[in-house]
A = this chain, B = another copy of it.
Amino acid sequence: MPEYPTALGASSRHEITLLGQSLANDVMGTVGFGELAFWLATQRRPSAGEVRVFEAVLAALADHGFTPTAIVTRLTYLSAPDSVQGALAAGLLGGGSRFLGVTEDCGRFLHEALAARKPDQSWDDFARDVVTQQRAARKFIPGLGHHVHKDGDPRTPRLFAIAEEEGLVGPHLSLFAAIGRVHPEILGRTLPLNGAGVCGAALADLGLPLELLRGFALLARTAGLIGQLAEELRHPVANDIFLSVDLNNRSVAPDGGLHG
Contact pick for A244, options B17, B44, B244, CB 8 Å: B244
Confirm or deny: A72 has a beta carbon within 8 angstroms of a beta carbon on chain B: yes
Contact in complex: A254, B7 (CB < 8 Å):
yes
Contact in complex: B88, A90 (CB < 8 Å):
no
Contact in complex: A41, B252 (CB < 8 Å):
no
Contact in complex: A8, B214 (CB < 8 Å):
no
Interface positions of A from 1 to 53, Cβ below 8 Å from B: 1-20, 22-25, 27-29, 31-34, 36-37, 40-44, 52
Q: How many copies does the complex hold?
A: 4
Contact pick for A259, options B80, B111, B222, CB 8 Å: B111
Known contacts A7-B231, A244-B2; is-contact A79 B92 (Cβ 8 Å): no
Contact pick for A13, options B95, B151, B227, B245, CB 8 Å: B151
Contact pick for A155, options B13, B23, B32, B222, CB 8 Å: B23
Contact in complex: A234, B218 (CB < 8 Å):
no
> In the assembly, what is the distance between CA of A252 and CA of B69, in Å?
20
Q: Which residues of B contact A211 (CB under 8 A)?
A: 84, 233
Q: Smallest distance from the beta carbon of A200 to chain B beta carbons, Å? A: 13
Q: Which residues of B contact A95 (CB under 8 A)?
A: 79-80, 85
> In the assembly, what is the distance between CA of A18 and CA of B158, in Å?
15
> In the assembly, what is the distance between CA of A150 and CA of B14, in Å?
8
Contact in complex: A80, B63 (CB < 8 Å):
no
**Size category of the binding interface on chain A:** 35 or more
Contact in complex: A96, B92 (CB < 8 Å):
no
* Selected interface stretch from A54-62, A120-128, A137-145: A54-62
Contact pick for A148, options B11, B37, B222, CB 8 Å: B11
Contact in complex: A215, B251 (CB < 8 Å):
no
Contact in complex: B43, A256 (CB < 8 Å):
yes
Write the residues of chain A forming the contact surface with B, with a CB cutoff of 8 angstroms.
Answer: 1-20, 22-25, 27-29, 31-34, 36-37, 40-44, 52, 54-56, 58-60, 62-72, 75-76, 78-90, 92-101, 111, 148-155, 157-159, 161-162, 165, 195, 204, 207-212, 214-216, 218-220, 222-224, 226-231, 233-235, 237-238, 240-242, 244-246, 248-259
Closest 3 CB pairs of A and B: A80-B96, A40-B227, A79-B94
Instruction: Provide 15 A-B residue pairs closer than 8 Å at the C-beta atoms, listed in order of the A residue.
Output: A1-B1, A2-B241, A3-B248, A4-B248, A5-B251, A6-B249, A8-B224, A11-B65, A13-B150, A42-B257, A81-B96, A86-B94, A207-B258, A212-B230, A219-B226
